[in-house]
Amino acid sequence: MQNFPAFNSPFTPGFMSIFIPLMLVIALWTIVLKGYSLWYAARGGQKWWFVALLVVNTFGILEIIYLIWFRPKNVSDIVSEAPVNVSSSAQ
């Protein structure tokens, strides 16, 4: 078996102590941005953006681009829910 220097191994204690928390922060960052951008795309009726944001994983880059430039900014741009017709049938 060949001996490799410690800096080449991803299993050294120093590397793993930085790597695991960093990956957890990146995963949390991606989940929050993806959820926020998917919510805006769904409420705005932007089906193609919804599919693109759901399928493409870019560590939050596509989500940031969508949230800054492409999300609906006005309340009138957001698809409203169907009105609920409440009628009393008790006569």
The answer to whether the CB of 78 falls within 8 A of the CB of 72 is yes
Largest CA distance in the chain: 89
Residues whose CB falls within 8 Å of the CB of residue 32, separated by 6 or more in sequence, listed in order: none
Radius of gyration of the chain from Cα atoms?
Answer: 23
Average confidence (pLDDT) over 82-87: 60
The answer on pLDDT for 64 being more than 80 is: yes
Q: Please state, for a pLDDT cut of 90, what percent of the chain lies above it.
A: 22
Cβ count within 10 A of residue 53? 25
pTM for the model: 0.62
**pLDDT tens by residue, 5-19:** 655 555 666 666 777
